[in-house]
Structure 1
């Protein structure tokens, strides 16, 4: 139950960034990443639909491998915002330094695993034999740079949760532009670069992430009230780290459930055939358009709610959470409807394969049902994460993600024969169940805490 601080001073309210100020840089960053990512997919499709399928399922693998360091980064991000909201900047700084050290260490271990174990990992994903060589190349190069992904995750999360959402935006834009230019050179043999196909795309990804990490590191060092230096590498505060893990480990379990579920669902799609796998990858790109602004609002609301929660401004936190939800739902519905109407004209831009296009078009109606429930989930997930109520989300996620999304997805798609449409039906059911339960949880937490009764009340009643 929330307990509201009495009348926070005006200057305390003003120092916390507004939802709009936090949202627009995140939106621009994500929108440009979407446009560049779409262009990236279009470029890779010029290599082959098989290359697109490999990139799609490999991305799910990489997402699964990020769970450990995202557990630390996620918990640290929430606490950084809360500590700054409570005007404890030194604690926020210490949390950021500890999280950065641990995340990078985990990333190094993952880089080694993916680089040396690319082939057995590719075979575990149930890929067709013809896709294995492409997958091994892509996983070993991009996965070998997982330490860069880990560094970028914690550095951007820490900077964003200080309220500075603009710097990660600028860095992401620059990084993706470099990636796009290098892709063009490596795929088409332009700009003096060799035509290396998917190998070139992997190298392009690695180089752009390295440059992005270097710039983010510079911003991170200057993100707090005191510059972070070499001496701070020795910082380690056990009580603060326990706070990070208290919030972070349930986030990690929940995130692991979702990511591994998605990886399994992609494996189920791969079992259906290469055409279905390519269609799912193209649909992933198109679906990003639907919720990009809604997701930006949810991310911004999480930062703002965490700051407000740390400052004890509970009513304002509640208003921010619901503002993000209602605005996000409206925008997501409009975007999903546009995709439903125009999807059959957009998909041919990615591929000329009539079978892949037909599968993608057949999924547009189901996507129209999926996106609002996904937005509900994102908004309530962000709000509950911001106040540290992550164990409830973990419990709900373990039930719904594995039994509904994964279990029902497998049953509908393969034994029942509904194919990829069965997987979509299961995903819709999962998003609906989790979204409704988390909305109910958030509303319950907004109810005023009951006043404590005097100890001698029972005696007074008896008398």
Structure 2
């Protein structure tokens, strides 16, 4: 029991997730840094392309996210076979969705770029990058779902190891294809896209090896045809509001990127560089939020409702402390960091003009992520969905248009709008968590069962009341 408790402790879960996410971020940062050596136009294309990829990824991350929470709940409830079945179904369904998306992105690369008002002169670059990287969306679907499944069994080190290997391969091949080194032909942005594709293929192979042994009973090829209608309903019940929430965020960000595109390549590149800087700043907080979701789902599934409630607060306070410190660092290194990516003074000055707003934004994002993920962990996903639809479109996208375009505040206006959105949603999810609505409902459903134990000992037993 102590080993089980340690397996789902916040720090045990969080540090490998942090390393994994940091390395995934470095993958994007290395892309941006190396692509900037090609041109700032190429950076603008990669930034927009990644927003498109995030938009289509919602179709399979909905299944993966719902399945991940359900796996942790089922393992907490001592139902390992149900957890195993959920994991298998999630990977199979996500893989099929990813395969369809791969075909669409390969064929429709240019129409998608045009949809978001990309300048005509950038369309050839967009076609190259979107068609090559997008054709591997099936690999992205498999890696995302298997990583989520493996993490929610309590094994956060496996995806971390995969991320390390993926980054090493990607960096080496990026350098080779951009500079014509190591015997590689000099392919520029095309080489970066191919490098991304190959590194994801290798990551998929490694995760498959981990996935088949992730549960008590090894997964066989014939198990991929397993389908349990009731468990699938549970996945969708948790997952579809998460999918709407994620799609609302990604599509609202795409709308904002389309506003940026009308401002020109300078604004688009500045936002892309700043997005990388923000992600580094927020990475520790995001790791804490994801770890808390796994921990709270496991506690909730095992009937330890009061501990789940306290875990939400603990994780958010820890995250706020870390993000606050990182925001200060962001202010100190912002200019030097941007100088690594571009020498264009117009882009640097535009990005620096939003640096203080970016630092203020991060604590609000942590409150939103901390309590929002806690609500997701116990299945209260519809509330997040409703407030996201209202705030992301009414505040983030709507106010971005009003301040950024109508009043001419440009990129600064867009940052003000995003800041208002994050703090509004953060306050609303914090109030929701404090009211304990879903936790009280769960306690009511389990009336007649008494959970006996102490948080300090980590020893728990269940008796009829």
* Superposed pair shares fold, TM > 0.5: yes
Distance 2:273 2:92 in 1: 36
Distance 1:35 1:67 in 2: 22
| Contact 1:107–1:149, Cα closer than 8 Å, also in 2 | yes
Shift of 1:122: 1.2
Which of 410, 413, 419 pairs up with 1:419?
410
Matched, 1:230 2:218: no
Shift of 1:30: 1.9
Change (3 A) 1:150 1:82: same
Which of 245, 263, 269 pairs up with 1:272?
263
Give TM-score, length-normalised by structure 1.
Answer: 0.93
Q: Give SS of 2:122's match.
A: helix
Shift of 1:345: 2.2
Match of 2:197 in 1: 206
Match of 2:107 in 1: 116
Distance 2:127 2:27 in 1: 24
Change (3 A) 1:197 1:345: same
Give TM-score, length-normalised by structure 2.
Answer: 0.93
Matched, 1:308 2:325: no
Shift of 1:34: 3.1
Match of 2:343 in 1: 352
Distance 1:355 1:396 in 2: 37
Match of 1:461 in 2: none
Q: C-alpha deviations, 1:144-201, integer Å up to 9, x for none? A: 1100011111110000000000000000110011011100000000010011000000
Which of 399, 402, 422 pairs up with 1:408?
399
Shift of 1:33: 3.0
Matched, 1:78 2:39: no
- Paired residues for 1:105-144 under 5 Å: 105-144=96-135
| Contact 1:16–1:308, Cα closer than 8 Å, also in 2 | no
Match of 2:327 in 1: 336
| Contact 2:7–2:13, Cα closer than 8 Å, also in 1 | no
Q: C-alpha deviations, 1:34-65, integer Å up to 9, x for none? A: 34432332111000001111111100000000
Shift of 1:448: 5.5
Match of 1:37 in 2: 28
Match of 1:390 in 2: 381
Distance 2:444 2:57 in 1: 44
Which of 22, 41, 50 pairs up with 2:13?
22
Change (3 A) 1:15 1:366: closer
Match of 2:78 in 1: 87
Shift of 1:381: 1.4
Shift of 1:217: 0.8
Distance 1:451 1:117 in 2: 51
Match of 2:458 in 1: none
Q: Give SS of 1:223's match.
A: coil
Distance 1:13 1:106 in 2: 34
User: Please, what is the CA RMSD of the aligned residues?
Assistant: 1.5
Which of 229, 234, 242 pairs up with 1:243?
234
Q: Which runs of no fewer than 5 residues in structure 2 stay unpaired?
A: 446-465
Shift of 1:13: 6.4
Aligned residues: 443
Shift of 1:11: 5.0
Tell me which of the two structures has the higher relative contact order, counting C-alpha pairs closer than 8 angstroms and 6 or more residues apart: 1
| Contact 2:368–2:422, Cα closer than 8 Å, also in 1 | yes
